[in-house]
Amino acid sequence: MQIRYATDLTAEQYVRQQAWQEATLNQCPLHPQGGCRFGKNGTYARKFPDGAKIARWYCADGHMSFSLLPDCLASRLSGTLIEIEDVITEVENSHSQEVAADKIRIDIFLPGALRWIRRRIFLIKVALRMLIELLPDPLADCNPSILSFRSVLDVDYVLPELRILADPYLHILPPPVGFGPRPGAKKLRKTHFQHKTGTDPPS
């Protein structure tokens, strides 16, 4: 289970200061009354940014581990929230996703770049729509776009700010902002007229 590590450090500062060593979790989230076998369980490394580690705890009675994720880092996606926001902003300012993909992911072919971008767009759009419903007071005038949220909140970067504003709802918000489950894409319902895969039956 991921838990928010409230900090205003950038990813570079987090790595340089090895801030995971200062992270603390004083009680077990499963047993706040105490009495369980709860303790620190080392760290695990993030692939990006290079050198970043995440502090982890474990409850032996609940058979569950807990990690403190700093506000600068994305959940369940590599990199930082700012890097992901830069991707979405590039898409919103481009004529098409293909144009944005050619600028953002020059290291891979276009189909792979589009899948990479669309995964992030889908997750962010779902989170923004949920937040408009969950936080109508500050976000009532927002559309589900980074540029709209940025204008209404009057901040340079939206996603780190939303991690803070949505703190009570992080357990249900999808990554990379929240710590909830990934939303599933809707599956097309098969009709009775859909034939099985394979060669056509004889006439």
Each residue of 98-129: pLDDT tens digit? 999 999 999 999 999 999 999 999 999 999 99
| Mean of pLDDT over the chain | 91
- Mean pLDDT along residues 76-105: 96
Annotate 69-102 with DSSP letters as a single string. Answer: EETTBPSSSSSBHHHHHHHHHHHHTSS-HHHHHH
Residue 198 clears pLDDT 50, i.e. is over it: no
Residue whose structure tokens are 């369940």: 76
Mean pLDDT value of segment 23-31: 96
Q: Over the stretch 153-175, which tens digit does the pLDDT of each residue have?
A: 999 999 999 999 999 999 999 99
Helix 110-134 crosses helix 97-104 at what angle (to 10 degrees)?
A: 110
Q: How confident is the model at residue 188 (pLDDT cuts 50, 70, 90)?
A: very low
In the structure, what pLDDT confidence band is assigned to residue 189 with cuts at 50, 70 and 90?
very low
Kindly tell me the burial class for residue 151, based on how many C-beta atoms sit within 10 Å of its own C-beta (0-12, 13-18, 19 or more). middle
- Position 23: which residue type? A
Q: Which residues are CB-neighbours of 76 under 8 A, at least 6 positions away? A: 175, 176, 182
Euclidean distance between CA atoms 73 and 46, whole angstroms: 10
In angstroms, the CA 31 to CA 28 distance is 5
DSSP code of residue 57 = E
